[in-house]
Structure 1
Amino acid sequence: MSAIKTVAVSIGDLNGVGFEIALRAHREISAQCRPIYCISPVMAEQAAALLGERLPEDFITYDVSGEYTIQPGTVSAQSGRYSYDSFLKALSLALSKQVDAIVTLPIHKEAWMLADVPYVGHTDALRDLLKSEAIMMLGCEKLYVALYTEHIPLSQVPHHITADGIFDFLIRFYASFPRSPVAVLGLNPHAGDHGVLGDEERFIEAAIARANRHIGKNIFEGPIVPDIAFTSRSRERYKTIVAMYHDQGLAPLKALYFDEGVNISLGLPIIRTSVDHGTAFDIAYGHKASLLSYRNAIQAALSLDNVVHHG
């Protein structure tokens, strides 16, 4: 039997549901791995008290400075800074090989902005800090969706639809997640309808053909009409989809598998997974948060190969 793995848990925004999820799931998760929570003992005790709970004796913390008064459901620079520093602690543990993987609980993007954190979110930070072309993929074993573009304005997406850009993305994606077949969505309604509704699909089609030739087999199919790609019939064939932009892929994915989904960063020198939901300020410290995405994020981190593929 292999040795039990150690996972650093970035605690997320303490004004949201992250700590509740970590605490309520602790007994179950600690039976699968050795979690290390990137939070100071003082902040952990404060958060547990807000939940009317006590910390388990085996609740291992890794100190993060910047203690403040937790304000459930509030966007604040202090909570933003603390969640970012918790993330940096988890990352340092992974880079120094003290843990096998990191799992991140939800942060609030506005709180990061208020704290002058120079990143939109975890994935953007990982790209810069690790100098790696990370790919954001979300979903569960029933369906995974990788995003060609992520957190950019919709008006900018067409400018990124180039044959070279998509080809490079597809090759990096397959190197990190070698599954087949993969549906590559078109950009426009009806996948452009042969140029009637837009011609970006010609670049997508060229990239698919080139990627398949490069790999030596037909892995990628498309451009697939976006509004049929998530139907039950389509999902019988495609368990993996590449979407051209954020909401094209994530709106239907979350409608189907919101509670089950996880966020996986591909193409990094470390293993990183995350829950596929936000801080849920409206239910913070109300004992209402679902644990399923967190459970799945832990399991995904543990199941990924020890040798992490580079993009």
Structure 2
Amino acid sequence: MKIAISVGDPNGVGLEILLKNHKKVCKLCNPVYCVDKDLLKSAAKKLSLKIPKSLVCKSPLIKLPKIIPGEINKDSGAYAYASFLQGLNLTLKRKTKALVTLPIHKKAWQLAGIPYAGHTEALRDILKESLKKNGQLKKQEESQAIMMLGSPKLYVALFSDHIALKEISARIKVESLKNFLFAFAPHILKTPCGVLGLNPHAGDFGVLGDEENAIREAITFVNTSLGKEVYIGPLVPDTAFVGKHLHYYVAMYHDQGLIPLKTLYFKESINITLNLPIIRTSVDHGTAFDIAYQNKAKSKSYLNAIKEAVLRAKLQNEKAKIYC
């Protein structure tokens, strides 16, 4: 099974993780790396590593950046984006079964003029255009790309992801929450899923905010429509992860859900983008510029992302056989 792998920011830990785990990844799938071999050679030299012989690479067809460990610059950002687009294109054309992404640096993307805060935002926009061309725009309008991070012990889906904190309250609307909860429900393998409130103490009956009214209304509507208790909440955010024994949560914003997740399972957790016409998984960590090219990068999240992509691709194939 072929899996496309975009390499992330060349100045971070992505290339180190790729090179060190090639043999292990080859036991799981047939990796197609969206990178120039000359860039890999440069990275390997800096890391005192040998280049694996069996690498299959697809050049992003963009100017090679100079590797400057830990530096944020537009050339590395442009290359990371081109690598991502290459992997996305291969997967959309069904030349690969899934896309696995190594970490990018959002500021480097910005310096390169990339109009997205990260992979998830780019996927939402680019795939919307793809569906529009294929006459499927209505389907995309009714759904949305959902960022879910986690490990088998705990998964957290983000109602809002890479946006400024000051913008979140305005997003808490009954209709948008309903759409999100309906879209996420099929991906919850063990119910109930806890939905966090936005405010401290989940608003404390309106004393600390009233956004929980919209959250509560959306939960009630979705559960009634689905005919079962898929969601519970709004839960008090600071105690929601204590003693509840829930496997799935919906957080209203990025840090609300990811601080507890990364505190507990940072080394093993991954990022999965749900509700897309393709399979996309990613590591659940950043570029780690502070340890770039020091042979200190950890690999468990990357390997778990590969395993998850392969598993989902196999499940997709089985479903396709059933409907054929």
Provide the TM-score with structure 2 as the length reference.
0.91
- Work out whether residues 75 and 112 of structure 2, in 8 Å CA contact, stay in contact via their aligned partners in 1: yes
In the TM superposition, what is the alpha-carbon distance from 1:163 to its structure 2 partner?
Answer: 1.1
Number of residue-to-residue matches in the alignment:
302
Matched, 1:281 2:277: no
Matched, 1:193 2:193: no
In the TM superposition, what is the alpha-carbon distance from 1:249 to its structure 2 partner?
Answer: 0.6
SS at match of 1:217: coil
In the TM superposition, what is the alpha-carbon distance from 1:307 to its structure 2 partner?
Answer: 6.1
Residue of structure 2 in register with 1:258 after alignment:
266
SS at match of 1:287: coil
Tell me which moved more, 110-119 or 151-160.
Answer: 151-160
TM-aligned CA distance change 1:177 to 1:27, over 3 Å = same
For 2:66 and 2:213, the matched residues in 1 are separated by 54
4+ residue segments displaced more than 6 Å = none
For 1:292 and 1:43, the matched residues in 2 are separated by 24
Residue of structure 2 in register with 1:89 after alignment:
86
For 1:78 and 1:199, the matched residues in 2 are separated by 45
SS at match of 2:95: coil
For 1:86 and 1:282, the matched residues in 2 are separated by 23
Alignment of 1:272-311 (within 5 A): 272-304=280-312, 305-306=315-316
Letter in 1 for 2:36: S
SS at match of 1:60: coil
For 2:200 and 2:318, the matched residues in 1 are separated by 36
Pick one of 148, 152, 160 that aligns with 2:163.
Answer: 152
In the TM superposition, what is the alpha-carbon distance from 1:178 to its structure 2 partner?
Answer: 4.7
Alignment of 1:90-169 (within 5 A): 90-131=87-128, 132=140, 133-169=144-180
Superposed CA offset, 1:235-274 (max 9, x none): x2x1000000111111111111111110000000000000
In the TM superposition, what is the alpha-carbon distance from 1:73 to its structure 2 partner?
Answer: 0.8
In the TM superposition, what is the alpha-carbon distance from 1:177 to its structure 2 partner?
Answer: 4.1
In the TM superposition, what is the alpha-carbon distance from 1:143 to its structure 2 partner?
Answer: 0.3
Provide the TM-score with structure 1 as the length reference.
0.94
For 2:145 and 2:211, the matched residues in 1 are separated by 24
For 1:76 and 1:193, the matched residues in 2 are separated by 45
In the TM superposition, what is the alpha-carbon distance from 1:213 to its structure 2 partner?
Answer: 1.2
- Work out whether residues 270 and 308 of structure 1, in 8 Å CA contact, stay in contact via their aligned partners in 2: no
- Work out whether residues 269 and 308 of structure 1, in 8 Å CA contact, stay in contact via their aligned partners in 2: no
Tell me which moved more, 169-178 or 36-45.
Answer: 169-178
In the TM superposition, what is the alpha-carbon distance from 1:279 to its structure 2 partner?
Answer: 0.3
For 1:167 and 1:307, the matched residues in 2 are separated by 30
For 2:15 and 2:175, the matched residues in 1 are separated by 42
Pick one of 246, 249, 253 that aligns with 2:257.
Answer: 249
Matched, 1:220 2:231: yes
For 1:178 and 1:93, the matched residues in 2 are separated by 29
Tell me which moved more, 79-88 or 129-138.
Answer: 129-138
Tell me which moved more, 45-54 or 203-212.
Answer: 45-54
In the TM superposition, what is the alpha-carbon distance from 1:176 to its structure 2 partner?
Answer: 4.0
Identity among equivalent positions (%) equals: 50
In the TM superposition, what is the alpha-carbon distance from 1:216 to its structure 2 partner?
Answer: 1.4
